[in-house]
Structure 1
Amino acid sequence: MTATHGEKIVQEFSKQAATFADPRVNVGFTRHLDRLVRFMDPELDLDDVVLEVAAGTALVARALAHRVRHVTALDLTPAMLAQGKREADAAGLTNLTFTLGDAAALPYLDRSFTLAVTRFSLHQVADPAAVVREMARVCRPGAALIVADIVRPEGLDADPDAIERLRDPSHNTLLTAAQITDLLASAGAEVKRTDTFDFVRPVEPWLALSHTPSGSADRIREALSAEADGGPATGMRATRQDGELHFTHTNAFFQAIVG
């Protein structure tokens, strides 16, 4: 029987749960966490009731917990939530709840939260529009809805999704910043602020984080190495720095206000 996309996500991120706690490997998630919190800072209030959707190990939720009344971290992968709970307990956080659930069908009543955030999830899920609609639904009018994701630069010559899926079969599709803005608008949330920046990443920790099988990892290295040496474009914008193979992700943060 063919696995559903949700089952692929659980399978892949169950493998990654332990490595999410290792900043040497999880550099893409940890390096810009402070930047995201600073981006969110104007919206944060001590009385906020916050939801992190597709939270993984709740990196964002844990970073916000001391700033707000309560944070709920929801994710589809039990192993991710368990890792996050261990980290939260070790940090002594008592206002953080972990919930197993589907980002496209949130188990909450309308207008339950004063702020909702999702980080690096829209490129992963099967139906990003449904996730954004659900986040807007459970937010109170005037609440901030924060999306942080990898985006596809406009006018990119090659499709990076092929390499992304080879590394992680649960990867779905990179959206452009304009497409994410449209999803937010369709859900009734108006984008007020954005922050877009490139992040040049070393290839090896990226492959280690996802536990990519050796055969697939070798194919990725071969394609990126060829691109870095002037060969066919992969969409990953591969380069060499000090002899080490790197690629470039474009990250974008969106702050939208729910109507």
Structure 2
Amino acid sequence: MTASTDHNEQVVDQFTQQAEGYARLTRSMAADRPNGLVALMAPAADDIVLDVACGAGSLTFQISPFVKHVTGVDLTPAMIEQAKAEQIEKGVRNVAWKVSNVCPLSFDDAAFSLVACRAAFHHFDRAREVFSEMTRVCRPGGRIAIIDVSPAPDKSAAFDAIERMRDPSHVHAHTTDELRALATGLPVKEVVVQQIVTPNVPLDAVLATSYPVEHSIDDIRQLFKEDAESGRDRLGMNALLADGKLYVSYPMSTLVWSKQ
């Protein structure tokens, strides 16, 4: 098997285990998340949207009220099952789902007017190729968006290390400049770059969706506790200990390009 095949199997294994808990966590976070993110992508009523590595459909559902149709594609069948269950619960009619690899994407050239990916690029072992595929399936004049964790450059190695301990399918959390560089040489023009922080996420909620292989949950929690107590933010997540509970904050970047 190729390295990518091995990695895809690892992703499916992790997210099959994570699916139910991950869906709960992302629904909870979506309820607290304003629609400013959606506004950055400038959705239009006639947009045909592709949500790449859609997971349980958090972004799919968030953008669906503003566009004509959204297709969510994900490698993990269990994630798509979570998305379908929420679709039935919400009664959303303008979304569809596909279990498929994202590299390559199994769609025609210029099939979509908006192609987005949230909280997944750090799992891609061929990130540049995924972005190239997103560009291919986007129509000229359309938009391509990436939203993902993006640590400070000096915290990148430690951020990746602790995330790989927690989730072995983690590959690399790109810095903002690394995300921008994915577009080099492709027919796109950068139109939005925004950096924010998703603050004070309960660490226990994150660990409830974690299935480490070589480390225990207690070991990982201890590393965050030590980082919080040190006040040095060595892990790049501003770990905070308050009233006996641990919280982490995720640095995020949103980038939007227009297809030329």
TM-score, normalization by structure 2: 0.89
What residue is the counterpart of 1:234 in the other structure? Answer: 235
Shift of residue 199, structure 1, vs aligned partner:
2.4
Classify 1:193/1:85 alpha carbon distance in 2 versus 1 (closer, same or farther; 3 Å). Answer: same
- Count of residues paired in the alignment: 256
What residue is the counterpart of 1:34 in the other structure? Answer: 35
What residue is the counterpart of 1:251 in the other structure? Answer: 252
Shift of residue 214, structure 1, vs aligned partner:
10
What residue is the counterpart of 1:217 in the other structure? Answer: 217
Shift of residue 209, structure 1, vs aligned partner:
2.0
Deviation per CA, 1:127-151: give whole Å up to 9, x if none: 1111100000000111011110000
Shift of residue 244, structure 1, vs aligned partner:
1.6
Shifted more, 187-196 versus 214-223: the winner is 214-223
Paired residues for 1:35-114 under 5 Å: 35-40=36-41, 43-114=42-113
2 CA distance for matches of 1:214 and 1:53? Answer: 29
Give the secondary-structure state (helix, strand or coil) at the position aligned to 2:109. coil
2 CA distance for matches of 1:217 and 1:87? Answer: 29
1:204 aligns with 2:201: no
2 CA distance for matches of 1:104 and 1:164? Answer: 23
Shift of residue 63, structure 1, vs aligned partner:
2.0
Contact 2:167 2:210 in 1 (8 A): yes
1:159 partner letter: A
Deviation per CA, 1:22-61: give whole Å up to 9, x if none: 24x7655654363322322xx2111111100000111111
Contact 1:123 1:175 in 2 (8 A): yes
Shift of residue 157, structure 1, vs aligned partner:
7.7
Shift of residue 210, structure 1, vs aligned partner:
2.4
**Identical positions, percent:** 30
Classify 1:26/1:94 alpha carbon distance in 2 versus 1 (closer, same or farther; 3 Å). Answer: closer
Classify 1:151/1:224 alpha carbon distance in 2 versus 1 (closer, same or farther; 3 Å). Answer: same
Shifted more, 25-34 versus 90-99: the winner is 25-34
2 CA distance for matches of 1:174 and 1:71? Answer: 26
